[in-house]
Amino acid sequence: MPQLAGKTDLIPNHPNETWIEPKQTGVYVGQCAQFCGIEHAKMLLRVYVDTPEQFDAWVQQQKQPGVQDASEAAGRHIFETEACTNCHTIAGTAARGTFGPDLTHLASRVTLASGAALNTPENLRGWIQNPDDLKPGALMPAMQLNNEQIDELVAYLETLR
Ligand SMILES: [Cu+2]
């Protein structure tokens, strides 16, 4: 994040540290600055600088299980019975996977897949259909679901605030 700090290399299996001291709240944008593989161009970094009160409120909100909307039970059932649960967690459900991002508050995020696309229902649909279309080299497989299953899944995921 050039506005906050210089570059620090991140080396696999080697913990590294950097110190940043923002003077103003806001969102600071950064980008991976060393070619690291096929997804390199799609590694948006964002640092949200909050006041301590805003940060505490965010932590409290993130610790809550998502509000599960009973009307989207069909989509939830698909999520819980497909391999999604092997890789993702949704607090308050049986899904406990940790290979992919935690989806408990998915609908509250601005973007999908580290900024590869805006978090709209259309993009979410496209992502589940074939992640590689939005982000070549993505480590999530295309799940081979039919259109009806994807519609129900997206309707459910959109309720995860
Ligand atoms: Cu990179």
Report which of 144, 142, 157, 42 is spatially closest to residue 105, judged by C-alpha positions.
157
Ligand 1 midpoint to CA 59 (Å): 28
Residues 138/131, Cβ–Cβ less than 8 Å: yes
Q: Are residues 79 and 106 in the same domain?
A: yes
In the DSSP assignment, the letter for residue 42 is G
The residues placing their C-beta within 5 Å of ligand 1, an ion, are 32, 36, 40, 43
Give the Å distance between the CA of 12 and the centre of ligand 1.
Answer: 12
Asked whether residue 86 falls in the same domain as residue 152, the answer is yes
Number of alpha carbons in the 13 Å side-chain half-sphere of residue 81: 9
At 7, the pLDDT band (50, 70, 90 cuts) reads confident
Same domain, 103 and 49: no
Q: What's 142's DSSP letter?
A: P
Whether residue 78 sits in one domain with residue 47: no
Global pTM value? 0.90
Q: How far apart are the CA of 38 and the centre of ligand 1, in A? A: 8
**pLDDT digits 0-9 by tens, 86-143:** 999 999 888 999 999 999 999 999 999 999 999 999 999 999 999 999 998 899 999 9
- Give 78-141 as a DSSP string: HHHHSTHHHH-B-TTSS-B--SS---TTGGG-SEETTTTEE--HHHHHHHHH-HHHHSTT-SSP
If asked whether residues 71 and 135 sit together in one domain, one would say yes
Check if the beta carbon of residue 94 is closer than 8 Å to that of residue 78.
Answer: no
Where is the domain boundary, 15, 45, 63?
Answer: 63
Domain assignment of residue 120, given as a range: 66-157
At position 127, the amino acid (one-letter code) is W
Is the same domain home to 82 and 105?
A: yes
Instruction: Mention every residue, 6+ apart, whose C-beta is less than 8 A from residue 39.
Output: 135, 136, 137, 138
Number of separate domains in the chain: 2
Shared domain for 47 and 2, answered yes or no, is yes
